[in-house]
Amino acid sequence: MMWPRRGLDPGSVWAQRLRQLEQRLRTKEERIVVLETENAVLHLKLAEYQGLAGGSTKEVLQLYAAHGQQMKLQKSSVVTQLHGAIKRLKQDLKSLHSFALELSKDFQRQSKTCLYQVLAAVHGIQLQNEAIRMFQIKAFDLEQSLQEVTERYEKEKQKRKALHNSLVELRGNIRVHCRIRPLLPFDDAAGHSVSQDRQRNFSEKAAYAADDETVLVKCSRPGHASVNKTFQFERVYNDLESQDAVFADVAPLLTSLLDGYNVCIMAYGQTGSGKTYTMLGPQSEGNLAFSIEEESELGIIPRATQEVFRLISEKPQGSYWVEVSVVEVYNNEIFDLLAKDSYGKAFGIKRDVVTTREGKSDVPLLTHETVKNASEFLHLVNKGLQLRVTHPTLVHAHSSRSHLVVTLTITTVVFGDNFGTLWEDEQTSQRLTKESSCTFLQRMRDNKSTSSSRPSSPVQFEATEKMKQVKTRLQLVDLAGSECVGMSGVTGAALRETAFINRSLSALADVLGAIAEQRAHVPYRNSKLTHLLQDSVGGDAKLLVMLCISPGQKYLTESMQSLGFGTRARQVQRGQVKKKNFPLPSKAK
């Protein structure tokens, strides 16, 4: 209980307090009136909603009753349908069961059959495996037998080849090799008015290498049966064999060169058959010189020179000197391709060929250039090739119109009375070799200073008891190609060139025929070519003829002519080739 503060009237305080309470009472009463009003309104709404709810309940009951009836009807129809479906399923199940039984029985029967078949197959495989093992054993035995037979065959083949070469040496036969070039783009029938069937035949191969000693030619004519002809030679090269393979069979002849034998290698064949490629190597367009950089494509001439200088390098220094001459036979005239004018410029000078008292052929005033290595030789040959005459034909765009003859003359310095002691005293050998080398070079300088023209023959040493010379020659010949005028399509000056070429090749065949028949007179002088090659063809040199033929049906006639020439040349017996005699060793006193 709050006591009135001092100084205030308690009666006024209580009166104020009373007024506040009355005010709150009136507020509460007003609030009660408002709530009673709202309560009455709510009672009215509740009565209204209860009326509505009673109506809705009836409608809901009616809906429930209708829904129940509808569900009863649906259940009765679904049950009926289910009963029907169940019956049908039972029937299908019975059918499937009976089918399954049949299928199971059939599977059992088939499985038994398959099992029997598998067992039979396994048994058959076992038998086959045993048979295969037996065959493998037999195959192994046969392979061993084949290998032994092959080795024996190779040995017998080498023996046969050695005996054949010995026989060739004794008889003096001409070695004949044949090279078949591949088909080339210009082998079609362009430029000739022939039928499409003939053009198709032209593109077919007619010449094949049956083996390394046999050429097979298929000769076919319209309306006639095809006939196969074979030609046998010492060596046959197919169209896939390289320049290396060709030179490998030529190289042994070069060893004979330093043993005192003359050697001649010539290429024969129609124009466009690959003679120049075989002898020199590939030539670029517009340039007759061959490239030294393409070593794998080099021909016989550059390779032979490299081999000769390699063999010389193995000999005592200064005991060998090499000179080279390059000539062409054009329109039955001989031209010196290394001759120079007063200004030192190379140009071809006409020379003549004569027969010496000893019966040997010689070309007076022919230029001989001394070379120290293969590079100098190839440089000179390239200079000479720039002057060689060529002319395009329908068969070959760079057809050679002349015969090219490159000659290497090797001078061997040997010692007579001191020969026996020469190899016993190494110091004496070196001293004499050095003296001979200095004498040779001094005489070369003296000869050049006293005469502007080239000597007609290699510088000669004085034949003394201590020093003698032996000369051997390597002649490398690239013959011009034989031509059929109708095939090559040449006219005018080229036609005249063709006539001279064919005439000189015919003269070469006549010379070989005369030697083969051992006639008393051999017509060397019927052509400048045969006169120039008289010593080599006549038996003073080991001669190798490299036949070059085209494989196409288009050139069948020309190929047969070349093969016939090679066959006749192979039958020529010239007698044993003579060796240049070295002084016999004598004992020092």
Whole-Å CA distances, 62 to 48, 57, 67, 359, 513: 22, 9, 9, 154, 141
Four-point Cα dihedral 216, 222, 225, 230, nearest 10: -20
**The residue to which tokens 């794998």 are assigned:** 296
Beta bridge partners of 263: 474, 542
Q: Is 94 annotated as a binding residue?
A: no
Give the SS3 label for residue 391: strand
179 closest CA partner among 239, 229, 230? 239
CA atoms within 13 A on the CB side of 163: 6
Strand segments (E) across 220-319:
227-232, 235-237, 262-269
Tell me the H-state helices in 172-242: 196-202
Strand ranges across the sheet with 227-232: 207-211, 214-219, 227-232
CA-based torsion, 514, 515, 518, 520: positive or negative: positive
φ/ψ of residue 493, rounded to 5 = -65, -35
Give per-residue burial for 359-374: e unless 16+ CB within 10 Å, then b: eebbbeebbbbbbeeb
How far does Cα 239 stand from its chain's mean position?
11
Q: Is 275 annotated as a binding residue?
A: yes
Q: Let me know: does 487 contact 560? Beta carbons within 8 Å.
A: no
Whole-Å CA distances, 336 to 364, 385, 433, 501: 11, 11, 33, 18
Q: Is 274 annotated as a binding residue?
A: yes
Q: Is 269 annotated as a binding residue?
A: yes
Task: Classify residue 152 by burial, with Cβ atoms within 10 Å: 0-12, 13-18, 19+.
Answer: exposed
User: Angle of helix 374-385 relative to helix 300-313, nearest 10 degrees?
Assistant: 150
Give the SS3 label for residue 403: strand
Give the SS3 label for residue 259: coil
Q: Quick count: other Cβ atoms within 10 Å of Cβ 213? A: 17
φ/ψ of residue 6, rounded to 5 = -70, 140
How far does Cα 434 stand from its chain's mean position?
48
How far does Cα 579 stand from its chain's mean position?
41
Q: Let me know: does 555 contact 357? Beta carbons within 8 Å.
A: no
Say which residues have a Cβ less than 8 Å from residue 543's Cβ, sequence separation at least 6.
174, 175, 264, 265, 266, 536, 537
269 closest CA partner among 179, 204, 359, 350? 179
**Residue 478 tokens, joined:** 């690239």
**Residue 433 tokens, joined:** 């070799």
How far does Cα 160 stand from its chain's mean position?
31
Q: Is 384 annotated as a binding residue?
A: no
Q: Is 260 annotated as a binding residue?
A: no
Separation CA 244–CA 242 (nearest Å) = 5
Question: Residues comprising the binding site?
Answer: 269-276
Question: Residues comprising the binding site for ATP?
Answer: 269-276
